[in-house]
Structure 1
Amino acid sequence: MDFQNLLIQNKGRIQYIVINRESKLNALNKATLAELHIALTDAFKSDSVGGIIITGAGTKAFVAGADIAEFDGQDANGGRQIAREGQSTVFDVIANGNKPVIAAVNGFALGGGLELAMACHIRVASDNAKMGLPEVTLGLIPGYGGTQRLTQLVGRGKALEMIMTADMITAADAFTIGLVNHVVFQDDLLPKVEEILNKILSRAPLALASAIKAVNDAAKDGVNGFETEIEEFARCFDTEDFKEGVSAFLQKRKAEFKGK
C-alpha cells in the first residue's frame, strides 16, 4: 500500500515506521492513525518482520501531538469515539503486539506523541527530546491511554504532576523517572535503537511474544499475571525454538531460532 503520511523502510528483519508529516511536526491526524493501523497490522503478520522501530521524520519532532483542528466542534460522543478508536486501532495494537516495538524519540513527543511512545515496549530518546502531556491546557485530558500508561511507567504522583501541570520534561528527566530506557546523542539515536532491537531479534520470537503478553497482564485489572506467566512458560515447552535453545545450550553453540 502507498501511504500518504508514513514511510515504511525495511532493514533486515527490522521495519521502520516513520510518521512523515514533518511540516506539521508529525502530528497524528485521523488519516495518519488509519495508516498506522494498517502498517502495524501488516508488520505484526509479516514473517519477514521481526521487530518495529517507530519514529518521526526530521529532527524537530517524534510526534508533536494529535491534530487538534480535528477536535474542534466535537461533543462528548465525538470525543468518546476519537479516544476509543485511537486506542483500539493503534495504541493498544502496539502495546499488545506479538513483536517488539521500540520508539526512537527525537525532538518533541507531546500529547498523542508521548502516548504513542508509551504504547511501545521500549523507548529510546535523543538528548534534545522534550516530552509532556499538555492536554489540560486545552480543557482535555490524555485520551490515547496516557493517564494509564504514564502511571504504570512513572508512578501515580509523578504522572499526576506531569498531567496537571502540563509541563514538558527533558530527556534526562524522562530517564531519571523511568519514562525512557536510554538517552543518547541525537546522531546515535537510530544506531542505539537498532543495536537494542537486533539483540532482541537474536532471541526466540515466540518467547518474545510470550514475554510481552505476560508483562502486559501484570497491569490488567481482573487478570492474574502470575497465571499468564505459568501458561506462557508452559506454552514455550511445545515450541521447536525451546528444543533448539536447550540443545544449543548443552552443545555450547549459538541457537538458531525459527519462530516455530
Structure 2
Amino acid sequence: MGNLTIIALTCLDPHLHTPMYFFLCNLSFLDISSTSVTLPKLLDILLRNGQRISAGGCFTQVYFFVCLTVEEFFIISVMGYDRYVAVCHPLHYNVIMNQRLCLLLAIGSWMLGFLEPVTHTILLSHFSYCGSNEINHFFCDTSALLKLSCTSTSNMDHLNYIMSGLVMVPTFLFTLTSYVYIISTILKIRSAEGRRKAFSTCSSHLIVVLLLYGTLTFLYVRPISMQSMEQNKLFALMYNVIIPLFNPIIYTLKNKQVKEAIRKQLPRIAREMKKSLREV
C-alpha cells in the first residue's frame, strides 16, 4: 500500500512530476514486483500448507527474483546520479536530467535487469538434483537449490562472483563516487541551514543504499560453502519484506512535498473510491 500510494501520488500530483519521483516510482513498482515473486508462495505455505511447486515454477521464480534484484542495483545507482546532479549542478539540473535521459536510464535499467539472469537460470536448470526434493527456504533461492544438487557448485560460485563484478561492484562504486562528490559539495556550503537542506535531499536514498548493499552482500557475495541456510532465510526475509516495507516510509517520512501531495490528493482519491463503490 505504501508503494502504491507513492505511485498514485506521483501520477496525480503535477508537483511530483520530476526525475527524482519518476525514479522513486520505478523503485516502488520494483518493490511491488519483487514481493509478488516470493511472498504469495510463502503465504500459500503458511495458510494452506501449499508446500509444492513445479520445477518450471521454481526456475521461473529464480529468474524473476534475480532479474528484479539486478534491476534494483541499477535503479538505486541511477537515483544516486540524480541526487549528484541535483546537489552538485543545481543550475543545470533540468537540462541534464531531461525527460529523454530519464526514460533512457529507466528503460536501460529494466532491459539489463531482464537480460542478466538468463545465463544464471539456464545454468541452474541444467544441474543434476538428487536425494531429497525439499527446498529449505520459503522460495526457490539459488543457495537452497544448490544444496540439493549433485553437481559441483564451483561454476555457480564463479558465476556469482562474475555477476558481482559486472553488476553489484560497478553500481556500488558509481553510487559511492556520486556520494563522494555530493558530500564534498555539501561541505563547501557555508551556512549550516544550506548544508542541512542539501543533505536532506540525499539522506533517504543513502539509507536505502546501505540497507540494500548490506543485506545482499551478506546474502550472496559469500562462497556457497560458507553460507548457513538459517542465516540466508533471515536475510532473504529482510530483503523480501522489510526493505520493500521501509522504502516508502524512508522516502516519505521527512519529505514535505510528499506530505503536501498526500494532504491534497487523499480527499480526491476517497471521492473516487466512493464513486466507484456506488457504481458497483
Instruction: Please confirm whether the aligned pair reaches a TM-score higher than 0.5, indicating the same fold.
Output: no
Larger RCO, structures 1/2 (Cα 8 Å, 6+ apart): 2
Structure with greater proportional strand content = 1
TM-score (structure 1 length as normaliser): 0.28
Larger Rg, first or second structure (1 or 2): 2
